[in-house]
Amino acid sequence: MHGPPASGPSSGLGLSSIGMAHLRFSGRIALVTGGASGIGRATALLLATEGAAVAVVDRDEAGALATREAIEAAGGRAAQFLCDVADSDEVEAAVTAAEKALGPIDVLANVAGTGDSATLADIESLEDERWNRVLAVNLSGPFFMCRAVLPGMASRGRGAIVNVSSLAGRSKSAGGGPAYTSSKAGLLGLTRHLAFDYGPRGIRVNAICPGGVDTPMIRAGAANLATSPDESEMFMRRVAAYEFFMPIKRLSSPEEQAAAIAFLASDEASYINGVSLDINGGLFMA
């Protein structure tokens, strides 16, 4: 048996290190889409707490401003940008404005997404508009964002991107329809492809795959998206069944997902590239 290498991370730490704050994102600039709510808001707050200046990007202007204010109230640095990630011009403008306001982006977290509670609708009744909207937000949005930030990251030889896919992308959606499942599976493909292309240029691209997370998307949001009371009721029954079958018998908090995003975005994950990290309490294991 060999012990830990003498040159491991714990060697050489003097007593003076104990109690010193460990800020993984000191001096870094992060852009978080979907930063107005749920997982995105939790991610923006966590990255800021750990030293990042954060660009909070969302189509919900008031929510993004509230996140910015929460960061500033805690002594952090942030700015908010109104942007529909499904619109490539708006994405380009938001990235340009964020870099002008805060500096070159080191970390991109693509969290913004839309649900699609088409639980009663099979593919024969899935309209073009609904399919296109879900794909535009959940897959084209991260593509536009990656395309906007990657040239700068590549020129500086460093960067980390974390895409928020879903258990739906690894298996199938429990509460959503085929458009949601397809968008999240596509995002994992984009993640792997970019990880391969940009790894040589010092950039890591990874994804997390949350199971059920207690956010507006899975609660009120899903009910609002349903096209009928029956569809809404069916969705909430599926959420209850979801919780029943989880080995960890509760939904995740947004903070538990944010913790994984921050880890993958940090230097602690310096050799992790192209992974799809399941964070689902063991609901889907593979």
Ligand X SMILES: NC(=O)c1ccc[n+]([C@@H]2O[C@H](COP(=O)([O-])OP(=O)(O)OC[C@H]3O[C@@H](n4cnc5c(N)ncnc54)[C@H](O)[C@@H]3O)[C@@H](O)[C@H]2O)c1
Is residue 183 left, alpha or beta, with left meaning phi > 0 and alpha meaning psi from -120 to 50? alpha
Residue 114 is a binding residue for ligand X (CB under 6 A): yes
Interface residue with ligand X among 29, 30, 34, 119 (CB under 6 A) is 34
CB 45, min distance to ligand X, A: 13
Angle between helices 38-49 and 254-265 in degrees, nearest 10: 50
Residue 191 is a binding residue for ligand X (CB under 6 A): no
Residue 215 is a binding residue for ligand X (CB under 6 A): yes
**Total residues interacting with ligand X, rule: CB under 6 A:** 31
Residue 221 is a binding residue for ligand X (CB under 6 A): yes
CB 29, min distance to ligand X, A: 19
Residue 163 is a binding residue for ligand X (CB under 6 A): no
216, 236, 187, 198: which is closest to 36 by C-alpha? 216
- Please state, in angstroms and rounded to a whole number, the distance separating the CA atoms of residues 226 and 283: 24
Per DSSP, the three-state class of 55 is: strand
Q: What is the DSSP letter of 110?
A: E
Interface residue with ligand X among 32, 39, 56, 226 (CB under 6 A) is 39
CB 120 within 8 A of CB 228: yes
Residue 60 is a binding residue for ligand X (CB under 6 A): yes
CB 202, min distance to ligand X, A: 26
In DSSP terms, which residues pair with 205 in a beta bridge?
A: 161
Exactly one of 180, 198, 242, 271 is catalytic; which is it? 180
Backbone phi, psi, residue 110, to 5°: -90, 90
Angle between helices 38-49 and 61-73 in degrees, nearest 10: 30
Query: Largest Cα–Cα distance in the chain?
Result: 66
* Helix, strand, coil percentages in the chain from 3-state DSSP, rounded to 5: 50, 15, 35
Q: What is the DSSP letter of 269?
A: G
In the annotation, is 198 catalytic?
A: no
Interface residue with ligand X among 54, 148, 213, 246 (CB under 6 A) is 213
Residue 205 is a binding residue for ligand X (CB under 6 A): no
Other CB atoms within a 10 A radius of the CB of residue 229 amount to 9
Residue 84 is a binding residue for ligand X (CB under 6 A): yes
Interface residues for ligand X in 61-80 (CB under 6 A)? Answer: 63
Residue 255 is a binding residue for ligand X (CB under 6 A): no
Render the burial of 233-266: b for 16+ CB within 10 Å, e for the rest: eebbebbeebbeebeeeebbebebbbbbbbbbbb
Residue 166 is a binding residue for ligand X (CB under 6 A): yes
From 7-15, 37-45, 119-127, 148-156, span contacting ligand X (CB under 6 A):
37-45
Interface residue with ligand X among 111, 149, 205, 207 (CB under 6 A) is 111
CB 170, min distance to ligand X, A: 10
Catalytic residues, which ones?
180
Interaction site with ligand X (CB under 6 A):
33-34, 36-40, 58-60, 63, 83-86, 111-114, 137, 164, 166, 210, 212-213, 215-218, 221, 254
